[in-house]
């Protein structure tokens, strides 16, 4: 029986052959032992392909680290507790009866859960993941088992067993979370992801009037009290609860969405007209200082981000980012509509007509400054004396990252410290002794969460290491795309756990190995070495050294370099045509015509541009189909009309992956 997925992300696989083969050290059973690595996550090479790998499985109950059957998490009580919270995010159909998550009555409307899907809740999103559907006894019975991003570029994770019901009168589709889908049955989309058909094992029709929640594109506001799992007695995670993220805004239909207005729910006044989702227009949600049922210990929730005074307040006002900049909209190839025309959405944010817009938000331990014009945020750790990674820090880190992840204006993050001479001292040692088992479990979960979110961020991440960075601090730097360190030899970095008499977790190790190579990692880990900056550079632990006063500028320059690339951080889209069994890029900004375009293994939007391996091409063997890829800042808005896509064919040729 399958149980819960990792704490996050929790995509449900569509195919065992999905992308596992592309991982160097992804989740796998240890040979002969039957044991599973945990957390099931990819590692990456330095020439990583962001978004090209995904967690490829739900974990069986026995290997869920939070389940009582897991040998990894220790005492049963802690396992139960965390497992319950973890599994809260899973469709109940997939939970075993033994799962503590099943303690929540099945009959209860899943409002809090539904609210997770696409409402400010971001899933560690591999940009290249597609929605897949199992089933379909009729043309409208589909079980979405994996989804990706919504049309605005926000990742969504609807419950993996979404049932889609047609609403013929309005020519659209409604899933069992109340989210509107658009499409024609062959190319249904939810949250911007194409879904297909097939027989449904157990189609579940949900009467319109009993639907609760909103799968992400529905009209109901995010921040109502009934949106929060905490309000119904369910577990509410600060990271999951939309109210934990002040900038979530309204979960409304994308601009130009063909979705019809939603039906009124019984007892619920019909919602107002849909308005474009613009974080700057989002009303500040009510924020409760603490949540009694939060799996996190009470902590002051971050205040809502300030709304820039120059942004007109009414949400109905057309978003100033709405129009596509002409110079960024490349001419489409013959017969192919520009993505923005095809779907009525801007493929990316226009440059602001105003002077550089900067926004900042801050919580107790992290200061975030977002330069909207550059699309780059700086996260400054400000938790003196040493920026130790306490539970509070980790929680705020994840919230800040998620905020930025949800912000279309942000495409890259620079991590640095506001504390002189210290980047981060690593895990807060005081969190690791004299606390309850539950606290340990919670703390460790938060450590993993931080790593997972950062590692798999769709934003370009650059560590500007302006001080010492032992252990967990080093992990943060390792988890970024690029590391620049101040060239002060007094600053050191490394995984020094051995010196503390503890062993770096294997995923610390894997991340380290990916950066410095096996042998260097081996000896460094065994000795618990802290490498002075010059040595760290020599062994490849950091990518470059610069004088401390130039660190910021250099990080900014590197970021610009990364963001100029198409794909993950880039702003380009490209269209490919299949000619003679090959995929040929017909061009796009920053993409040379004739270059290969990575199509991953199915799906639309968000794919990175890069080399398309012969193997993938052979697997796809596409003929006469068109494909496109959209960069993140295009908000993954790029979708060709279904008629122009042959995605199902591609998917089937790719083995359903
Ligand atoms: C609980 C469930 C999970 C269990 C998991 C078990 C397995 C985990 C296995 C491995 C993962 C571990 C990862 C880690 O990150 S462990 C932490 C490793 N960190 C260190 O070893 C850093 C130790 N600190 C230093 O080296 C230095 O403090 C410094 C270089 C960061 C700064 O030096 P300096 O400027 O001279 O400051 P001080 O040394 O005087 O320190 C100031 C102040 O800060 C306190 N402090 C330092 N580090 C930490 C820390 N990691 N956590 C908490 N507090 C820290 C230090 O004690 C001083 O406090 P004060 O005496 O009260 O002023």
Residue 566: pLDDT band (50, 70, 90) is low
- The answer to whether residue 80 is domain-embedded is no
Please state the ipTM of this predicted complex.
0.97
- The answer to whether residue 488 is domain-embedded is yes
Q: Where are the beta strands (DSSP E) in 386-497?
A: 412-417, 421-422, 460-465, 467-470, 482-486, 492-494
Ligand 1 centroid vs 471 CA: distance in angstroms? 9
- The answer to whether residue 443 is domain-embedded is yes
Of the candidates 447, 439, 440, 450, the one whose C-alpha atom is nearest the C-alpha of residue 400 is 450
Residue 152: pLDDT band (50, 70, 90) is low
- The answer to whether residue 22 is domain-embedded is no
502 ligand 1 Cβ < 6 A: yes
| Distant-in-sequence, close-in-space partners of 455: CB < 8 Å, separation ≥ 6 | 41, 44, 479, 511
479 ligand 1 Cβ < 6 A: no
Of the candidates 54, 59, 56, 63, the one whose C-alpha atom is nearest the C-alpha of residue 5 is 59
pLDDT tens digits for range 222-275: 222 222 222 333 332 322 222 222 222 222 233 333 333 344 344 333 344 333
State which ligand 1 atom lies nearest to the alpha carbon of 500: 21
Reported as half-sphere exposure (CB side, CA atoms, 13 A), residue 155 has a value of 30
Q: Residue 246 and residue 279: Cα distance in Å, rounded?
A: 9
422 ligand 1 Cβ < 6 A: yes
Higher-confidence residue of 575 and 481: namely 481
Higher-confidence residue of 37 and 636: namely 37
Residue nearest to atom 48 of ligand 1 (CA): 425
Q: Give the count of beta carbons closer than 10 Å to the beta carbon of residue 386.
A: 20
432 ligand 1 Cβ < 6 A: yes
Ligand 1 centroid vs 589 CA: distance in angstroms? 47
Q: Angle, nearest 10°, between helix axes 437-455 and 391-406?
A: 30
Kind and range of the H or E run holding 574: strand 573-579
Q: Which of 24-33, 402-411, 592-601 has the lowest mean pLDDT?
A: 24-33
Residues 149, 636 contacting (CB under 8 angstroms): yes
Ligand 1 centroid vs 429 CA: distance in angstroms? 6
CATH number, domain of 405, equals 3.90.226.10
Q: Which residues form the domain of 435?
A: 360-579
Ligand 1 centroid vs 448 CA: distance in angstroms? 18
pLDDT > 90 in the chain, percent: 29
State which ligand 1 atom lies nearest to the alpha carbon of 441: 2
Reported as half-sphere exposure (CB side, CA atoms, 13 A), residue 377 has a value of 29
Residue nearest to atom 3 of ligand 1 (CA): 444
Of the candidates 446, 457, 373, the one whose C-alpha atom is nearest the C-alpha of residue 413 is 457
Largest CA distance in the chain: 70
* pLDDT at residue 518 is higher than 80: yes
- Best mean pLDDT range from 82-91, 526-535, 603-612: 526-535
Total tally of structural domains belonging to the chain: 1
Residues 106, 164 contacting (CB under 8 angstroms): no
Residue nearest to atom 24 of ligand 1 (CA): 425
State which ligand 1 atom lies nearest to the alpha carbon of 428: 52
383 ligand 1 Cβ < 6 A: no
Place of tokens 């979708």: 639
3-state SS assignment for residue 551? helix
CA distances from 62 to 1, 3, 59, 101 (A): 9, 8, 8, 14
Q: Residue 13 and residue 262: Cα distance in Å, rounded?
A: 30
Q: Which of 48-57, 494-503, 596-605 has the lowest mean pLDDT?
A: 48-57
Place of tokens 């929605």: 131
* pLDDT at residue 545 is higher than 60: yes
- The answer to whether residue 453 is domain-embedded is yes
- The answer to whether residue 72 is domain-embedded is no
Residue 283: pLDDT band (50, 70, 90) is very low
Ligand 1 centroid vs 427 CA: distance in angstroms? 7
pLDDT tens digits for range 170-227: 434 444 444 444 333 333 333 333 333 333 333 333 333 223 333 333 322 222 222 2
- The answer to whether residue 205 is domain-embedded is no
For residue 314, what pLDDT is reported? 39
CA distances from 390 to 68, 222, 282, 292, 444 (A): 26, 29, 31, 20, 10
For residue 636, what pLDDT is reported? 23
3-state SS assignment for residue 340? helix
504 ligand 1 Cβ < 6 A: yes
Catalytic machinery residues: 427, 472, 496-497
Ligand 1 centroid vs 393 CA: distance in angstroms? 14
- The answer to whether residue 527 is domain-embedded is yes
Residues 607, 544 contacting (CB under 8 angstroms): no
Residue 153: pLDDT band (50, 70, 90) is low
For residue 460, what pLDDT is reported? 93
Residues 131, 144 contacting (CB under 8 angstroms): yes
500 ligand 1 Cβ < 6 A: yes
Q: Residue 177 and residue 150: Cα distance in Å, rounded?
A: 15
Q: Residue 245 and residue 205: Cα distance in Å, rounded?
A: 32
3-state SS assignment for residue 647? helix
For residue 355, what pLDDT is reported? 55
294 ligand 1 Cβ < 6 A: no
């Amino acid at each position: 029986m399958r149980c819960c997925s990792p704490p996050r992300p929790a995509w449900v696989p569509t195919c065992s052959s999905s992308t596992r083969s592309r991982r160097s050290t992804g989740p796998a059973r240890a040979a002969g032992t039957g044991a599973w690595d945990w957390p099931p996550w990819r590692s990456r090479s330095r020439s990583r392909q962001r978004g090209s790998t995904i967690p490829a499985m739900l974990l069986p109950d026995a290997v869920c680290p939070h389940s009582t059957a897991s040998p990894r998490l220790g005492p049963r009580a802690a396992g139960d507790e965390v497992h319950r919270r973890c599994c809260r995010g899973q469709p109940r159909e997939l939970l075993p009866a033994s799962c503590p998550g099943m303690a929540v009555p099945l009959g209860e409307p899943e409002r809090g859960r539904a609210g997770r899907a696409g409402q400010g809740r971001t899933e560690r999103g591999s940009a290249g993941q597609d929605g897949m559907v199992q089933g379909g006894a009729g043309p409208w019975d589909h079980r979405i088992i994996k989804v990706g991003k919504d049309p605005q570029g926000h990742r969504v994770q609807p419950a993996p067993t979404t049932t889609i019901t047609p609403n013929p009168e309005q020519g659209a589709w409604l899933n069992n979370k109340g989210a509107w889908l658009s499409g024609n049955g062959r190319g249904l989309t939810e949250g911007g992801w194409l879904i297909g058909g097939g027989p449904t094992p157990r189609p579940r029709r949900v009467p319109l009037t009993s639907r609760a929640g909103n799968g992400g594109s529905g009209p109901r506001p995010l921040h109502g009290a009934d949106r929060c799992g905490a309000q119904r007695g369910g577990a509410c995670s600060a990271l999951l609860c939309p109210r934990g993220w002040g900038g979530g805004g309204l979960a409304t239909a994308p601009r130009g969405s063909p979705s019809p207005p939603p039906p009124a729910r019984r007892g619920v006044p019909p919602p107002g007209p849909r308005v474009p989702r613009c974080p700057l227009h989002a009303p500040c949600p009510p924020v409760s200082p603490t949540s009694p049922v939060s799996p996190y210990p009470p902590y002051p929730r971050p205040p809502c981000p300030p709304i820039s005074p120059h942004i007109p307040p009414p949400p109905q006002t057309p978003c100033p980012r709405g129009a596509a900049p002409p110079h960024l909209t490349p001419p489409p190839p013959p017969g192919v509509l520009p993505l923005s025309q095809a779907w009525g959405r801007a493929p990316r944010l226009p440059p602001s007509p105003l002077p550089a817009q900067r926004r900042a938000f801050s919580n107790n331990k992290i200061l975030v400054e977002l330069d909207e014009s550059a699309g780059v945020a700086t996260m400054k750790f400000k938790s003196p004396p040493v920026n130790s990674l306490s539970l509070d820090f980790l929680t705020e880190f994840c919230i800040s990252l998620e905020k930025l992840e949800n912000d279309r204006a942000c495409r890259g993050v620079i991590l640095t410290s506001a504390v002189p001479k210290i980047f981060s001292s690593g895990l807060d040692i005081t969190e690791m002794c004299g606390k309850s088992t539950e606290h340990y479990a919670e703390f460790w979960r938060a450590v993993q969460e931080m790593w997972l979110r950062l590692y798999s961020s769709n934003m370009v991440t650059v560590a500007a290491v302006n001080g010492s960075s032992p252990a967990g601090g080093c992990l943060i730097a390792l988890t970024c795309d690029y590391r620049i360190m101040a060239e002060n030899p007094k600053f050191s970095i490394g995984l020094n756990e051995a010196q503390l008499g503890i062993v770096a977790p294997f995923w610390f190790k894997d991340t380290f190995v990916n950066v410095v190579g096996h042998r260097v990692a081996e000896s460094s880990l065994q000795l618990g070495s802290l490498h002075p900056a010059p040595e760290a550079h020599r062994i490849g632990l950091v990518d470059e050294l610069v004088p401390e006063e130039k660190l910021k500028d250099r990080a900014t320059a590197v970021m610009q370099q990364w963001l100029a690339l198409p794909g993950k951080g880039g702003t380009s889209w490209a269209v490919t045509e299949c000619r003679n069994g090959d995929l040929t890029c017909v061009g796009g900004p920053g993409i040379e015509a004739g270059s290969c375009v990575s199509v991953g293994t199915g799906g639309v939007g968000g794919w990175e541009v890069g080399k398309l391996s012969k193997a993938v091409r052979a697997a796809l063997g596409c003929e006469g189909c068109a494909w496109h890829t959209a960069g993140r800042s295009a908000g993954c808005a790029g979708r060709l009309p279904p008629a122009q896509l042959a995605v199902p064919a591609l998917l089937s040729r790719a083995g359903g992956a």
